[in-house]
Structure 1
Amino acid sequence: MALKFHTLDVFTDRRFGGNPLAVVLGADTLSDDQMQTIAREFNLSETVFVQSSTRPAHSARMRIFTPRSEIPFAGHPTIGTAILLAELNAPAHNGERDALVVLEQAIGTVRVGARLRTGGAAFAEFDAPKLPAEAGVLPPVDVLAAGLGLIPSEVGFENHAPICYAAGNTFAFVPVASLEAIGRARVNGSHWERAFEQQGISGVYVYTRQCEHTTSAFHVRMFAPQIGIAEDPATGSAAVGLAGIVHQSDRLRDGTHRRIVEQGYEMGRPSQIVLTLVAAGGKLASVRIGGSAVRVSEGTIDV
């Protein structure tokens, strides 16, 4: 059996940047083991398998696999899959196509608005299916710093301190004082295991206010060797958790706040994630993740 697939670069408006994604269509008959094997073969941060929806009003069911395991939710697979399905299926009107793509995921139903424009990269945005919440306790700063190959004084800035947040996936969020220090962060052998592998987290998200671009609010990196991702070029699901930290630590007033998060620069895969927070009544009311994507290749895979 031959299944059609597409690859896209997500959270970028040009090819060969952003976070690469493989999307396999017509995957209803594949077993879990087959999907995991194919994801390992693509060897990207995530591979999506598109299946028939369980409800007529929904666009598709999608399952998300890293090279090592299935995960319930991820940002760049959601953006990339929605844009691909919109490009393949949405009718055009005066060279413009807007679509609402409703995706069934393990975390729940995710509704994605896609904007397609002739001659430009498609853009999509979705409301996070879960709001971020604190989850778990991290070791002391000296242990965390050693796990990242940094010194303790390089961890933390202003009133930002390491914390665990979950919004479908659980991440350790580690603020770093400077762009220079974040560039040196790495998975530091046995020190990493002591700092992060006993916490039940999906990955470690390091962030700083110092950025490559003046339009960006945060420069970030994400390491997730536990699930087969040495480093991720763009991590939308972790950006949802960052929204909780920004609301809490920066003491945002009620209203809508937009932040650009840059990632992937150390990997040569520059990415921009549009993070929108809505605060009401002193609480975080909603989080939206947005970004562009471009198709790169297509083909068939025999299973």
Structure 2
Amino acid sequence: MSRRFVTLDVFTETPFSGNPLAVVLDSEGLDDEAMQRIAGEFNLSETVFVLPPTDARHKARLRIFTPARELAFAGHPTLGVAILLALRDARSGLTDAIAFGLEEAIGTVACVVEAGEGRGRGRFKLPVLPGYDGEGPAKTLLAKVIGLEPQDIGFGRHVPSRHTAGPSFIFIPVNARAKLDAARLDMAAFSAMDEPAALYLYAVDPEGLGHRFHARMFAPHLGITEDPATGSAAAAFAGVMMEFEPLGDGEHDVFIRQGLVMGRPSAIALQMVIESGALQSVEIGGSAVVMSEGTLLV
């Protein structure tokens, strides 16, 4: 049978930048193996399959696959599908911002989207707060894995740490933007790690005011050599901010640039709400543009 698909560039307003995403709209009848094979065929960091929701109050149920495995949650598939479904509603005459839920393995993700002409902007709220997974590996080990020196890792109060927002990440603070750009993954050293995990490198934006960062993400064990934009890592970064930054109560906006070294610049907005010194909510925002539409003959 034929199945419609759409590709989008996510966390960008500009075609040929951001993180590419494949969305299969007619996913009923596909089993786990078929979904994984289709994700391998697209060979993007993630492919998402849209299914009818289990609760009629929600918009859709999503299953998300990297080229190597299924994920319980990922940020750019969530945002991309939310914007795509809002664009389809806009074709039907619904032009205002719309809110709806998307069912994922991590829980129901609340989304708000404003749709334009072939593009849109949206945000989503995590159904669970980021979790702390412990201290990161030693700087000497991480430096070998990412091709830097131990003294390049860490700044201010920031040291390597592990946090999760669905997928788990090792967060590696790098003390200069130029060193972040120069990092290169050593696959032999990465493979020798006790538990290979997604590596999220970040550095302060030297030209930005407020909480602005540049980031890179490597996850070869998931079939992702480097990712142009990683929404789930940006969500987990809220845990990093809570651990290492002196944030007070109220709303805090964090802006993350990613994908520049790859030639696919991306912009991710993270909003945190803190009450009585505790993190209360995390939202991720950004834009997406439709790039192609077609049919899978499977």
**TM-score (normalizing by structure 2):** 0.95
Residue 190 of structure 2 contacts residue 196 of structure 2 at CA under 8 Å; is this kept in 1? no
Residue 260 of structure 1 contacts residue 272 of structure 1 at CA under 8 Å; is this kept in 2? yes
Q: Paired residue for 1:49?
A: 49
- Measured after TM superposition, the shift of residue 3 of structure 1 is 0.2
Encode CA deviations 1:261-291: one digit per residue, 9 max, x unaligned: 0000000000000110111110111110000
SS in 2 for 1:28: coil
Q: Paired residue for 2:183?
A: 185
Q: What stretches of structure 1 of length at least 5 have no aligned partner?
A: none
One-letter amino acid of the structure 1 residue matched with residue 63 of structure 2? R
SS in 2 for 1:83: helix
One-letter amino acid of the structure 2 residue matched with residue 189 of structure 1? M
Q: Paired residue for 1:92?
A: 93
Residue 18 of structure 1 contacts residue 264 of structure 1 at CA under 8 Å; is this kept in 2? yes
Q: Paired residue for 2:265?
A: 270
- Measured after TM superposition, the shift of residue 298 of structure 1 is 0.3
Q: How many residues align?
A: 297
- Measured after TM superposition, the shift of residue 216 of structure 1 is 7.0
SS in 2 for 1:164: strand
- Measured after TM superposition, the shift of residue 14 of structure 1 is 1.2
For residue 296 of structure 2, the aligned residue among 266, 279, 301 is: 301
- Measured after TM superposition, the shift of residue 21 of structure 1 is 0.3
Q: Distance in 1 between matches of 2:291 and 2:209?
A: 29
For residue 122 of structure 1, the aligned residue among 120, 137, 150 is: 120
One-letter amino acid of the structure 2 residue matched with residue 155 of structure 1? I
Q: Distance in 1 between matches of 2:7 and 2:187?
A: 32
Q: Distance in 1 between matches of 2:180 and 2:70?
A: 29
- Measured after TM superposition, the shift of residue 138 of structure 1 is 3.0
SS in 2 for 1:269: coil
- Measured after TM superposition, the shift of residue 136 of structure 1 is 4.0
Deviates more, 1:182-191 or 1:163-172: 182-191
Q: Paired residue for 1:198?
A: 194
- Measured after TM superposition, the shift of residue 210 of structure 1 is 2.8
- Measured after TM superposition, the shift of residue 97 of structure 1 is 2.5
**TM-score (normalizing by structure 1):** 0.94
Q: Distance in 2 between matches of 1:114 and 1:36?
A: 28
- Measured after TM superposition, the shift of residue 211 of structure 1 is 4.9
**Aligned residues with identical type, % of pairs:** 47
Residue 137 of structure 1 contacts residue 199 of structure 1 at CA under 8 Å; is this kept in 2? no
SS in 1 for 2:261: helix
For residue 283 of structure 1, the aligned residue among 267, 275, 278 is: 278
Q: Distance in 1 between matches of 2:4 and 2:178?
A: 43
- Measured after TM superposition, the shift of residue 193 of structure 1 is 2.5
The Cα RMSD (Å) is 1.6
Which contiguous aligned blocks of 4+ residues in structure 1 show a shift greater than 4 angstroms? Answer: 211-216
CA gap of 1:183–1:212, structure 2 versus 1, over 3 A, is farther
CA gap of 1:110–1:190, structure 2 versus 1, over 3 A, is same
For residue 161 of structure 1, the aligned residue among 159, 162, 167 is: 159
Encode CA deviations 1:104-153: one digit per residue, 9 max, x unaligned: 111111111001235x8411101112211211443211111111100000
Residue 272 of structure 1 contacts residue 291 of structure 1 at CA under 8 Å; is this kept in 2? yes
Q: Paired residue for 2:23?
A: 23
Residue 138 of structure 1 contacts residue 199 of structure 1 at CA under 8 Å; is this kept in 2? no
Q: Paired residue for 2:74?
A: 74
Q: Paired residue for 2:212?
A: 217
Q: What stretches of structure 2 of length at least 5 have no aligned partner?
A: none
